[in-house]
Structure 1
Amino acid sequence: MADHTAAELVARAQGEISAAALPNQFLDALERGQVPRDRLSWLAGEEYRIVDSDRRSFALLASRYPERPAGPFFLTLAEGEAEAFRLLHDFAAALGMSEKDLHVYEPRPLAQAYPAYVAQRALFGTAAEVALAMLANLEEWGSYCGRTASALRDQYGFGETAVAFFRYFAESPPGFAEQAEAVVAAGLAAGDSPEDIARAPRLLHAYETAFWDTLAAGLI
């Protein structure tokens, strides 16, 4: 993979993620109105842990790589997670879950593999690895969030305030792709391993798949 450009790594990673995509059984059930309300509390409880962890991970990356383009990129992501964390409480409130309920919720291990990997890379990995992983998986994650918001509205009667958390992630922030690719390019220029950078999106995708599979366990 020597001499690959950032654009080539992005294209390859996006192609691999697209090829690896499988049906999302949780969302399929959600769109049929077949997810019981207590399972929706799993979604809120798991995201409560994930968003808080990702916010910290992105802040750590910004501190490790403070110069442009990585520093501003990860600071923006950390700020975005903080906003998402606020919106998540509206979803939880619609389920009748308080802050205490979210805090005492017992997370499922495989549902938390995704933020654990992000935190690991934030501590031990490179900015380019995380930037490519987030970029390559963004389209699928965004589509899943859009489907979740629509299903909660159409099948469960949730209002727009309650689903705003999912709407927030359904669209990529302006300039996100360009900024992420710039971080990858900077990493390559600094001598980061293209193999390590390319591996991160595949692993992140596998861990995100585990999240959705955990939510679907026993439903089908």
Structure 2
Amino acid sequence: MADRTAAELVARAREDISSSATPNRFLDLLEHARVPRTRLTWLAGEEFRIVDSDRRSFALLAARFPEPPAGEFFLGLAQGEAQAFTLLHEFAAALGMSEKDLRAYEPHPAAQSYPAYLAQRAAYGTAAEVALGMLANLEEWGNYCARTASALRAQYGLAEEAVAFFTFFGAAPPGFADQALDIVTAGLTAGESPEDIARAPRLLHSYETAFWDTLASDLP
């Protein structure tokens, strides 16, 4: 019963996300070379804060929920964020941004709502909430990253190593979906409320939308 309910939660969350999705104006502009390179520094600067925060959030989740399957799952995500953090510096360097520039960048509040919520759930939420949130939003996030990498290569002439941060997130880690589903199943079996678990993917999606909307703000 728990297995079937977990699968139903994933399907419902994906349906909710799909039905509420709006066009990604930033990526539409990027694919037509209508995003100025100065705005690309926003992308690098915001991601610099986001990845560093998410790495810490996943590490905290791994410490809070060390038993399998959650411990291995969240530890793997933390390690992935650490790898992505290194790749992000290649993108920043292609834009002429140094480590000092990344640290000096002033983030936009709406663009940072996603990592803020994830940090909140890492501290106070459940493993099932976060696992469902990541799983349900994975396809859209991966698609956005793949589009970003392609546009940066085709329209802005960036080399493969400069867009490796985005290609890294373009595909899920091996076993990701199965592990996430197992964590949701474990939460339901332990008596967690399906409604509470299902709230996280909706909010995460809204906060991710705010991130992309911020990047596109005021662009003609």
TM-score bucket of the superposed structures, by smaller chain? over 0.9
Which residue of 1 is the match for residue 17 of structure 2? Answer: 17
Aligned runs of 1:1-220 on 2, under 5 Å? 5-220=5-220
Cα distance in 2, alignment partners of residues 108 and 54 from structure 1: 17
Secondary structure at 2:169 match in 1 = helix
Shift of 1:3: 10
Does the Cα contact within 8 Å between 2:13 and 2:202 map onto a contact in 1? yes
Q: List, as ranges, runs of 4+ consecutive aligned residues in structure 1 with deviation greater than 2 Å.
A: none
* Count of aligned pairs between the two proteins: 219
Does the Cα contact within 8 Å between 1:4 and 1:194 map onto a contact in 2? no
Cα distance in 1, alignment partners of residues 103 and 190 from structure 2: 41
Does the Cα contact within 8 Å between 2:145 and 2:166 map onto a contact in 1? yes
Q: TM-score, normalised by structure 1?
A: 0.98
Shift of 1:192: 1.3
Q: TM-score, normalised by structure 2?
A: 0.98
Cα distance in 2, alignment partners of residues 153 and 60 from structure 1: 35
| Structure 2, unpaired ranges of 5+ | none
Provide, for residues 144-175 of structure 1, a one-character-per-residue CA deviation record: whole Å limited to 9, x for no partner: 00000000000000000000000000011111
Shift of 1:189: 1.1
Provide, for residues 92-118 of structure 1, a one-character-per-residue CA deviation record: whole Å limited to 9, x for no partner: 000000001000100000000000000
Most deviating of 156-165 and 189-198 = 189-198
Cα distance in 1, alignment partners of residues 171 and 72 from structure 2: 20
Q: Which amino acid aligns with 1:159?
A: A
Secondary structure at 2:68 match in 1 = coil
Shift of 1:190: 1.3
Residue identity over aligned pairs, in percent, reads 75
Shift of 1:20: 1.2
Q: Which amino acid aligns with 2:141?
A: W
| Structure 1, unpaired ranges of 5+ | none
Does the Cα contact within 8 Å between 2:3 and 2:185 map onto a contact in 1? no
Cα distance in 2, alignment partners of residues 93 and 11 from structure 1: 40
Does the Cα contact within 8 Å between 1:90 and 1:162 map onto a contact in 2? yes
Backbone CA RMSD of aligned residues: 1.2
Shift of 1:21: 1.1
Provide, for residues 181-219 of structure 1, a one-character-per-residue CA deviation record: whole Å limited to 9, x for no partner: 001011111111111100100000000000000000011
Cα distance in 2, alignment partners of residues 4 and 195 from structure 1: 15
